[in-house]
Structure 1
Amino acid sequence: MKKTKIVCTLGPSSQTVEQLVKMIDAGMNVARFNFSHGSHEEHLARFNALKEARKIAGKPCAILLDTKGPEIRTHDMKDGAIALETGMIVRVSMEQVEGTVERFSVSYPELINDVTVGSRILVDDGLVSLRVTEIDAFNKDIVTIVENSGVIKNKKGVNVPNVSVNLPGITQKDADDIRFGIKNGIDYIAASFVRRASDVLEIIKILEEENATHIQIIPKIENQEGVDNIDEILAVSHGLMVARGDLGVEIPTEDVPIVQKALIKKCNMVGKPVITATQMLDSMQRNPRPTRAEAGDVANAIFDGTDAVMLSGESAAGDYPLEAVQTMANICVRTEQALENQDVFKLKQFKQDITEAIGRSVGHNARSLGIETIVAATSSGHTARMISKYRPKSNIIALTFSERAQLGLSLVWGVQAVYVEKPSSTDAIFTEADKVVKELGFAKSGDVIIVTAGLPVGEAGTTNMMKLQEVQ
């Protein structure tokens, strides 16, 4: 059983029901819908295709809505592009103008108040670097010198490393997209460009207004401010995404692997899922096999402790979307086999919480007794998360009593969630556990499994029991 979860971005290469069924069968656990692109009509068609595909496949596959976020972009250029040469002086205007080599504008008019002389403005993932030499407040221009030659096209992303920008936490478009997603059954929100806890709280407020607090918020850490405020962000979130694309523009490239490891460790310590994203199998957009470095990148993220790995352009617009999922799944399984030979059961940050104490004990006993299968009966999914936190070698089967709870475990390492009717008693849970592990092929009669549940049966937050059970 593959324990690391795979997130696939959907797009033109992955939008038919037939293709999505194949991707789910190959190992896709979560489908990412990137709301930086596409209309609501396009996304609705893909939502419906995915729901049909998971029905046909007979497997859960959660929906993750990735917000566009409060980004800064260039406005349109004359003839669609301008070519800048090193040493040129170019003005960045706070008033919308048609861009030329002398002057172009950006979508954030307050930028002039955030940057100072010496700040750098990076355009198009850092391909063009501009250094601020003067603030011309009268003309509402930032005067810059071009540090390297390059072409700037329409609507390209703009980054300002080490500058605290006063953009809103979410935009009106984000709020509209989130409400659209809620109506269509999303399970996760990946919140772009989160800088502080208050950005997450803005999304929580929308979820509360829409009676949708079951939807989990996964902030994307994409800038230095997000890294600096990571503890306060994680405290109000359900997990994190290490979004290495923009992060690698905002902070030095050589710092990205260090930050990746630190963020994964923080999530592991508190038992919240973490996704490692961007360029994992990038060359597979055009090639049927990955580079060796890419295979190592996926494996090393798993060694770091990531819960999930993600495909972006590879699955959305590449030539080999299915092969990319299959390749990623193969790397996951092989790396997990290597991990089984290491002792990854470590004491994590521990709260005075009964469910967590049970989760810790389950992991410890499974390890000590060599038990291969753990069954957690869980209403909210919290018990399964607390067991996963301790990374036991055992398979973790979560018996969930709603499809919502089942899909809500799609990012959690090592957990296979199964939707069952809510049992009427603890004896019914034990019987159901036997039935499910045998049906899934995780145990046979005579094997010993661990079952954990709570009294009263089926109530969230009541996990208080662990049983060593011989399968009948």
Structure 2
Amino acid sequence: MTQSNWQRTKIVCTLGPATDRPGVIERLIEAGMDVARINTSHGDHADHARRIRQVRQAAHALGQPVALLMDLPGPKFRLADLPNGFCKLEEGTIVRLVVAGDEAKGASADNCCLLPVRSRELLQALRIGEPVFLADGSVELGVKSVTANPSRADCQVRIGGTVRSGSGINIPESATDMLIPTDEDRRHLAFAVSQEAEWVGVSFVQSAGDLARVRACLSAGPGIKPLLMAKIEKRRALDDLDAIVAASDGVMVARGDLGVETDLAEIPIVQKRIISVANAQGRPVITATQMLESMVEHEHPTRAEVTDVANAVLDGTDAVMLSAETAVGEFPVAAVRFLQRVLTATEEVYGGRMARDRMNPAETASPNEAGNALSFAACLLAARLGARAIIAPVQSMETALSVARFRPQAPLVMVADSVRLYRSLALVRGISPLVVNAPDNGAEPQARLAQAREWLFTHGLAQEDDLAVLLSASGAAGDKADTLQTVRLNS
């Protein structure tokens, strides 16, 4: 690895049947996967646990930090299992939505297509004339009639397409009273804790209170608490965006449901706004949905998809996420490789400009705490001196994020004092996490500096006599960094 192809923006890959093929997870990590995502809306805990073991084992064998992000399903309506796993809906045809298990009751003489749904509450919420969107809005139905007993709804297909088992259903014009977390969320949350997931994605967040209720569930139980990723996919979330970001540990721009809940034409602006707020508050942010959607079936992406990925980087995202591309796609490894190529090409040309923009006080939030001021100074010093890296021993996300928020051009080599923190940092843009290899967690700063230096030399990012900036804690301020110095990377 050389300085020119060192990748700052991180890659999130959703696991699924396509990653179960022998050797695929190892190849995904080698291709650039930084975060493995488990979507608990699909599959069962046995499948998830098996995939998590494979990721942990492969990452350890390859010596790479890979974080685990486990998405909670949230209060989302979904199709139940379809007879053949999928169904093609033709424009103009009539389909009948029925509760799974009630298909026989929903049958009729006209033999209209039956679509089983998982929740009776969906059918109770529907109103005649309103739109119903499936498969991230690619299929649209219009409600023609609703029957209470048995619960069913007849709809006409306005925009046809293919829907699959478990496809999401959106009814943006209807109000529902389902709170976060749901009973299903609590069950999956306990599983995430048992699997020591570094991150948990909280779906359909609409207020900071939603995150507070999820944290209350974590506080009541044993085990290590995961970091919470607020998934912004509801229109109402945009009204409380600043508070939601402040209450979270990270944010996801979930463009699938957001594109149904919001005017599709406004999604690029909404994306920029969410990323900007997350950047300003020092929260890592993921841009998700349809990044390389065509690679589910094709070996190469479209020009528009490549441009979309590059623009997410220029917007300031920490990571970009692949969903169906790696979970069920035909070319999961090729998708990651192509994604990495786009990220590297974009960063090579624009990485320096982005760093300079963040060093301009007019373009970034003014550091208002001692820790942020010192981090800002570290980034500015590294830029002025042409330092090859910013090195910091860290014991929490706080110090790492306080530096990463300024998007320095130099690599951020963070030496974590635990494996959990080491993995968690894999999500954050610009950070190359290491885990302390000293006999105990009280390793001397020089030992950590030597470890960072060895990593930089091994990856071709620095040579002897190059400068680095070292950010460390003297002990007077507890675990918080309070000391800044320049060092020569002499062996």
Same fold (TM over 0.5): yes
Cα displacement string for residues 54-74 of structure 1 (whole angstroms, at most 9, x for unaligned residues): 111111111111122211135
Aligned residues of 1:401 and 1:458 also touching (Cα < 8 A): no
Work out which of the residue numbers 386, 392, 396 in structure 1 matches 2:402: 386
SS in 2 for 1:220: strand
Closer/same/farther in 2, CA of residues 406 and 156 from structure 1, 3 Å limit = closer
Work out which of the residue numbers 470, 473, 476 in structure 2 matches 1:454: 473
Distance in 2 between residues matched to 1:314 and 1:236, nearest whole Å: 31
- The letter of the residue matching 1:358 is L
Is 1:59 equivalent to 2:72 in the alignment? no
Aligned residues of 1:191 and 1:217 also touching (Cα < 8 A): yes
Closer/same/farther in 2, CA of residues 133 and 317 from structure 1, 3 Å limit = closer
- Equivalent positions of 1:120-269 (< 5 A) are 120-131=131-142, 147=158, 156-212=167-223, 214-269=225-280
Q: State the superposition RMSD in angstroms.
A: 3.2
- Equivalent positions of 1:248-397 (< 5 A) are 248-342=259-353, 343-345=356-358, 346-347=360-361, 348-350=364-366, 352-397=368-413
| Deviation of 1:193 (Å) | 1.8
Closer/same/farther in 2, CA of residues 425 and 139 from structure 1, 3 Å limit = closer
Cα displacement string for residues 211-250 of structure 1 (whole angstroms, at most 9, x for unaligned residues): 4564111121112122222222111111111111122122
Structure 1: 5+ residue runs without aligned partners?
none
In the alignment, what sits opposite 2:53?
48
Cα displacement string for residues 394-450 of structure 1 (whole angstroms, at most 9, x for unaligned residues): 111001111111111111100000001334444555555444444444322211110
Closer/same/farther in 2, CA of residues 95 and 467 from structure 1, 3 Å limit = closer
SS in 1 for 2:253: strand
Cα displacement string for residues 119-147 of structure 1 (whole angstroms, at most 9, x for unaligned residues): 43334443554556888889988787765
| Deviation of 1:336 (Å) | 0.3
Is 1:468 equivalent to 2:486 in the alignment? yes
Closer/same/farther in 2, CA of residues 8 and 102 from structure 1, 3 Å limit = closer
Is 1:7 equivalent to 2:12 in the alignment? yes
| Deviation of 1:199 (Å) | 2.1
- The letter of the residue matching 1:54 is A
Cα displacement string for residues 357-379 of structure 1 (whole angstroms, at most 9, x for unaligned residues): 11111111112222221101111
Distance in 1 between residues matched to 2:122 and 2:483, nearest whole Å: 56
Distance in 2 between residues matched to 1:153 and 1:22, nearest whole Å: 27
Distance in 1 between residues matched to 2:97 and 2:42, nearest whole Å: 26
Aligned residues of 2:193 and 2:224 also touching (Cα < 8 A): no
Closer/same/farther in 2, CA of residues 458 and 242 from structure 1, 3 Å limit = same
- Percent identity of equivalent pairs: 32
Aligned residues of 1:423 and 1:429 also touching (Cα < 8 A): no
SS in 1 for 2:287: strand
Closer/same/farther in 2, CA of residues 296 and 84 from structure 1, 3 Å limit = closer
| Deviation of 1:149 (Å) | 6.3
Aligned residues of 1:280 and 1:297 also touching (Cα < 8 A): yes
Aligned residues of 1:424 and 1:457 also touching (Cα < 8 A): no
Cα displacement string for residues 332-365 of structure 1 (whole angstroms, at most 9, x for unaligned residues): 1110011135233244224532221111111111
SS in 1 for 2:472: strand
| Deviation of 1:177 (Å) | 1.7
- The letter of the residue matching 1:40 is H
Cα displacement string for residues 131-174 of structure 1 (whole angstroms, at most 9, x for unaligned residues): 56888889988787765567888764321225442112122222
- The letter of the residue matching 2:386 is G
Distance in 1 between residues matched to 2:227 and 2:300, nearest whole Å: 34
Distance in 2 between residues matched to 1:315 and 1:354, nearest whole Å: 42
Report the TM-score when normalising by structure 2.
0.85
SS in 1 for 2:427: coil
Q: Number of matched residues?
A: 470
Distance in 2 between residues matched to 1:337 and 1:378, nearest whole Å: 28
Aligned residues of 1:18 and 1:53 also touching (Cα < 8 A): no
Closer/same/farther in 2, CA of residues 378 and 65 from structure 1, 3 Å limit = same
Distance in 1 between residues matched to 2:39 and 2:18, nearest whole Å: 14
Distance in 1 between residues matched to 2:153 and 2:379, nearest whole Å: 57
Aligned residues of 1:398 and 1:417 also touching (Cα < 8 A): yes
Distance in 1 between residues matched to 2:44 and 2:60, nearest whole Å: 25
SS in 1 for 2:11: strand
SS in 2 for 1:36: coil
Distance in 1 between residues matched to 2:27 and 2:150, nearest whole Å: 56
Aligned residues of 1:381 and 1:400 also touching (Cα < 8 A): no
- The letter of the residue matching 2:481 is T
